[in-house]
Structure 1
Amino acid sequence: MQADPELVQLALTHRSWAYEHGGAPHNERLEFLGDAVLGQAVTVELFTTFPDLSEGELAKRRAALVSTVALASVARRLGLGDLLRLGKGEELTGGRDKDSLLADAVEAIIGAVYLSTGPETTTAFVLDLVAPLLDDADRFLDALEALDPKTSLQQEASRRGLAHPPYETTGTGPDHDRRYTSRVTLDGVTGRGEGTSKKAAELAAARDAVVRLRTPAKRRRA
C-alpha cells in the first residue's frame, strides 16, 4: 500500500500547526472521511465475523473498537505521535501523547489512504490496523461506557423505546483556539458539554445526559 506522501503529511498536521503557519491546511477534513471509512469497515467485519451476536452487542463492539482510546493505542503502536506536526502550545502540553490527537491522526491517515488507493485497499488497511483489537475486544468492552458515552446514551434511548437523540453543537473563537458547546436531550433530560473539538463536546454532553438519566428525579431536582 502506497499513500500519497502529501496527503499523509496533511493527515499528520494538527490545526494548531496550521494556524502558526499562515492558515495552512490541516487534517480535520481527512479525519472526517477516515471516520466514515473506519466505521463501515469495522461494521462489516464484525457483522461477518460474529454471526450470532445481536445488533446491540455488535454496536457495543463497534463503539469500543473505533473509540478514542482504541485508536490512540493503534497510533502508539505505529509511532504516530513522533510524526505529528503540532503548534507550540500543543507541543508544550503533551499533545504528542494525547489520546484525542492520536485517534484523530489515525482517522486522518485512513482518509489519506482512501483518497490515494480506493475503497478495497483501504478496507484491508483498516482491518490490518484493528486486527489486534478484534482479538482482544473485551478489554475495550469492559470500559465502553467511559470510552463512548454516546453509545451508552443510544442504549438508554433504545431501552426507553425512543429514537436516538440529535446533538446541538456550536463553536466559537478562532480556528486555532475554537471552543465547542453541545447539548443533547432525551426523555426530557438535557445533557451539556464543552470541548476543544465538536467530538469532545458531544461526548461530554452525552456523558452528562447519561448521568442525569440514571439519577433519581428527586436528586436531579435537588
Structure 2
Amino acid sequence: MESCVSSVESILKYRFGNKKVLEEALTHSSCTESASYQRLEFVGDAVVGLAFANFVYLAYPSVDQGILSLLRAANISTEKLARVAVRHGLYRYVRHNALALDAKVREFALAVESEDELAAIYGGAVKAPKVLADIVESIIAAVYVDCDFDLKYVWKIIRGLLEPIVTLETLPLQPVTMLYELCQKQGKQVDMKHWRKVDTNICSIYVDGKLIATGTSDQKDIAKLNAAKEALEKINKSVINNVGIVYEVNEKNEIESAKQKLHELCCKKKWPKATYRIEKEVGLAHEKKFMCSVEIETAEVKLFMSGDEKSRVKEAENSAASMMIHSLVESNYL
C-alpha cells in the first residue's frame, strides 16, 4: 500500500501529512479488514461541488445561476470524474477484492481511449462505473481532511487533476438554448419534466404537449442536456415551414412522403392540386426506371420540377415532389 500512496501523491503533486487518510481513500468496501473510502467519498462529493461552485461564481460574475449550475454539473458528474480516474490512472491504486470490478473498469478505460470530448458530459458508449467517480471524490476528501479543511488550498491541488475543465466557452449549452430558441420562433411551447428513479435523474421534453425526447444521468442538469440533445437531433431531421407542414429528410436529402406533404402544402396555401406526369421511361421491362415531373400553380406563377430516375412511378413522383418542396423553401415561397 505504501507504493500506491506514493504514486497517488506524485499524481496529485501533494504530500500527505497523514498518509493513513489516503490509504482509506484508496480502499474499496470489498476489503472488509480495513476502513473503506465510503465516508470520505461522502465528504468529497460535497467538497468538489462547493469548490466548483466557488470557482464558477468568481469566474463568471455576470452569468445567472442556471448556467452556473450547468457548468458545475458538467465538471463534477460521474461521467466526468470517472474519466479523471482513468486519465490519471488513479483506479490502478485502489485495493479491493471484487474481481468483477476489474472487468468493468477495463471495459470503460478502453472505451475512453477512442471517444470524443463531449462524452465526458453526455456519456460515451460505455456507462461510467460509479466506483471510479467515488475514488476521485474520496481522494479529494483525503486532501481536504489532510490540509485541515482548507477549501481554497484543496482547489489549488485538484484543479489540475480535473483538467480539462468545462468552461462557459466549451460547455455545449446549444442543445438547451437552441431548442428553446427554435421552438420559440415556431410559436411552440417547450416543457421539461424531471423526476428520479432510484439513483437516476430523468428529464422528458414535451413540445406542444407531445413527448419528443428523454434523457438520463446521475446529475439533473446533465439529464436535461442529454434530453435536449436528443430532441434537437429529432427536430433537425424535420423541417417545419411557415405554413406548419412538418417533414422529415433522409440521408439523401429526400423528403419522406413528399407527394403527400406537397398535397398538404397546396391545401394550406389554397393552391390548386399538384399535377404529375411521367417524363421519361428508360431500361428494359424488368429493370425499367421512371422520371416524373410535378407542376403547381401558386397565386403568382406556375412552377415545374422534375425528379430523379426511380424504379417505380410512385417513387419518381415523390422525388419530383421532394425537389419541388426544396425549391419552394429556397425560393422563399414558404
TM range (shorter): 0.5 to 0.7
Query: Does structure 2 retain, via aligned residues, the 8 Å contact 1:65–1:140?
Result: no
- The alpha-carbon deviation at position 133 of structure 1 amounts to 5.4
Task: Find the aligned partners of 1:8 and 1:140 in 2 and give their Cα distance.
Answer: 35
Question: Residue 130 of structure 1: CA displacement?
Answer: 2.6
What's the offset of the Cα at 1:165?
A: 5.5
User: Is contact 2:51-2:155 (8 Å) kept?
Assistant: yes
Residue in structure 1 matching 2:44, options 31, 34, 38: 34
Q: Which amino acid aligns with 2:153?
A: A
Name 1:117's counterpart in structure 2.
147
Number of aligned pairs?
191
Are the equivalent residues in 1 in contact too, given 2:201–2:223 (CA < 8 A)?
yes
- Measure the CA separation in 2 of the matches of 1:30 and 1:125: 14
Name which of 34, 43, 56 aligns with 2:66: 56
Distance 2:105 2:141 in 1: 25
Q: Which amino acid aligns with 1:74?
A: V
Is the CA contact 2:71–2:168 (under 8 Å) kept in the aligned structure 1? no
State the alpha-carbon separation in 2 of the partners of residues 137 and 208 from structure 1.
16
The residue number in structure 1 matching 2:157 is 128
Q: Which has the higher helix share?
A: 1
Aligned residue identity for 2:134? D
Match of 2:183 in 1: none
Determine if contact 1:34/1:108 at 8 Å carries over to the other structure.
yes
Task: Tell whether the 8 Å contact from 1:4 to 1:113 is kept in structure 2 after alignment.
Answer: no
The answer for the alignment partner of 2:238 in structure 1 is none
Identify which of 68, 81, 86 aligns with 2:91.
Answer: 81
Structure 2 residue identity aligned to 1:44? N
Alignment-derived partner of residue 108 in structure 1 = 138
| CA-CA distance at 1:33 after TM superposition | 0.8
The answer (yes or no) to whether the contact 1:165–1:186 under 8 Å persists in 2 is no
Cα offset for 1:126?
Answer: 3.0
What are the Cα deviations for residues 50-74 of structure 1, in whole angstroms up to 9, with x where unaligned?
1122222211111111122332343
CA distance in 2, matches of 1:208, 1:135: 20
Aligned CA distance change for structure 1 residues 44 and 22 (closer, same or farther; 3 Å): closer
Conservation of the 8 A alpha-carbon contact between 1:60 and 1:141: no
Which of 74, 77, 91 aligns to 1:67? It is 77
Q: Which has the larger radius of gyration?
A: 2
Contact 1:183/1:192 (8 A) holds in 2: yes
Q: Which has the higher contact order (CA 8 A, sep 6+)?
A: 1
d(CA) in 2 for partners of 1:116, 1:69: 26
Distance 1:93 1:10, change over 3 A: same
Q: Which residue of 1 aligns with 2:103?
A: 92
Question: What is the deviation of 1:132?
Answer: 7.1
Matched residues, percent identical? Answer: 25
AA aligned opposite 1:13: T
How far apart, in 1, do the equivalents of 2:228 and 2:55 lie? 29
Q: Unaligned regions of 5+ residues in structure 2, if any?
A: 1-14, 110-127, 177-188, 235-334
Judged with a 3 Å threshold, the aligned counterparts in structure 2 of structure 1 residues 88 and 38 are, in CA distance, closer, same or farther, namely same
- Partner of 1:119, secondary structure, is coil
**1:184–1:192: 8 Å Cα contact kept in structure 2?**
yes
Q: CA RMSD in A?
A: 4.7
TM-score (norm 2): 0.42
Runs of 4+ in 1 over 6 A off after TM superposition: 181-187, 202-215
Show the counterpart of 1:6. Answer: 20
Corresponding letter in the other structure for 2:62: D
The SS at the match of 2:132 is helix
